Amino acid sequence: MTRVAFIGAGSVVFTRQLVADLLRFPELADVTFALHDLDPDRLAVAEGTAKRLNEQLGTHATVVATLDRREALAGADFVINMIQVGGIDATIKDLRIPAGYGLRQTIGDTTGVGGVFRALRTFPALTALTADMREVCPDAWLLNYTNPMAMNVWWASVVAPEIKTVGLCHSVYWTAHDLAELVGVPLEETHYRAAGVNHQAWLLEWTHQGRDLYPLLRERIAAEPELERRVRVEIFRRIGYYPTETSEHSSEYLSWFLRSDEQIARFRIEPLQYIGISQGNVAEFETAKVLLAGTDPFPVEGGAAEYAPQVIHSIVTGTPREIHGNVVNNGLIDNLPAGAVVEVPCLVDASGLRPVPMGALPPQCAAQNRPYLSVAELTIEAARRGDPRLVRQAVLMDPNASSTLRPEQIWEMCDDLVAAHGDLLPEALRQPLPASGL
């Protein structure tokens, strides 16, 4: 019997969708869900939700819930990681403190100052999680959803290289889905492959019945001038390949957009957007509690767009699939650094998951990816060495931060964030540094 451990199961809406997607596969109808969270109230709602879905779908899964992570992991075949260290309070600090310095972010969970500090809070938890896996489920797959994706998978490769780890994100799928809708072709009739880094991969292959769809996309954009007021369309126009993350999120990976009010208005960007999204997630938890107290069926989206259920089903049943995953760059993209974490197509079947080597990216795409990977590399090194100076240098390398703030402001802002996050950060990184940099 397949055992799937959910770490951070208190993300109840996401847990609900993954449980439903898994149970829709007949071969997984008797799966065991082992749910873990540090918050007993959220864990109780996640447990009740999984049990209600099991009844609702007429399946015969086993659902166990525990505050003990090792108990949840014991004997697991797959471990789905979706923790958020510090919760919404830490997220708001990551956004509001930089905003006080004039540094604008939209989501702030993947790169830039928000991504750096979220990573530094998450790394200790990942270290502990993989250490437990090494002891109680060493052969399990770690399927990571927690952001910052590239940094977290990279960190796992440093502290637990023997654990089979892949980062899963739906941005490539939804990009292909939405673009197919925009140009008026059925998604299931298209072929697409992307490569790069998470949230900044590039749609390199995109065809319909053998026909390149990029000319059709250019025609569609030319016919509707308002589309040119979207960040992703501007990136596409300048780079020549479409990026695989939303315009709001893409805006904070480059120096082009958030540094001026004029650009923000032109490209219809909403700074601090993730605060509202996070507050909405809290509201969804309250809604889930109300649903659980009643008898109405739980709403779940149709299909199985999320990759984790597909990966699990393919490995368990041998059904071949191709997804996009975040994995260590061992000869996968020639002109990005070896050892970094890249996003590429991956073949999945009973033998496991095999990344597809993609050769060299178009040089302009690789050039755009490298600053992102520099921020990630310095963050990894800051945590590995316990060096607070490298934390500041990671933020200094971020195009958005360096286009907006002077170096001494970056140092001061990082001091404020260190103080605000306190013991959520590794002790060695809590030391303030003089703004002079000396």
Q: How many C-beta neighbours within 10 Å does residue 306 have?
A: 23
Say if CB 153 and CB 327 are below 8 A apart.
yes
- What letter does residue 359 receive in the DSSP assignment? B
DSSP string, 290-350: HHHHS-SPPP--SS--SHHHHHHHHHHH---EEEEEEEE-SSSBTTS-TTSEEEEEEEEET
What are the backbone angles phi and psi of residue 102, rounded to the nearest 5°? 90, 5
- Non-local CB neighbours of 431 within 8 Å, separated by 6+ positions: 388, 418
Say if CB 393 and CB 378 are below 8 A apart.
yes
Residues 152, 325: Cα–Cα separation, whole Å: 13
Say if CB 250 and CB 199 are below 8 A apart.
yes
Peptide bond just before 148 cis, omega within 30 deg: yes
Say if CB 372 and CB 398 are below 8 A apart.
no
Helices 112-136 and 388-396: angle between axes, nearest 10 degrees: 130
User: DSSP H helical segments within 38-111, as ranges?
Assistant: 40-56, 69-73, 87-100
Among 170, 191, 208, 324, the active-site one is: 170
- Strands 200-208 and 211-212: what pairing? antiparallel
CA distances from 67 to 22, 32, 44, 57 (A): 23, 17, 10, 26
Q: Which of 199, 102, 91, 103 is nearest to 151 (CA)?
A: 199
170 is catalytic: yes
Q: Which of 234, 179, 236, 233 is nearest to 208 (CA)?
A: 179
Angle, alpha carbons 398-401-402 (nearest 5°): 80
Residues 215, 386: Cα–Cα separation, whole Å: 49
The amino acid at 302: G
Q: Tell me the catalytic residues.
A: 170
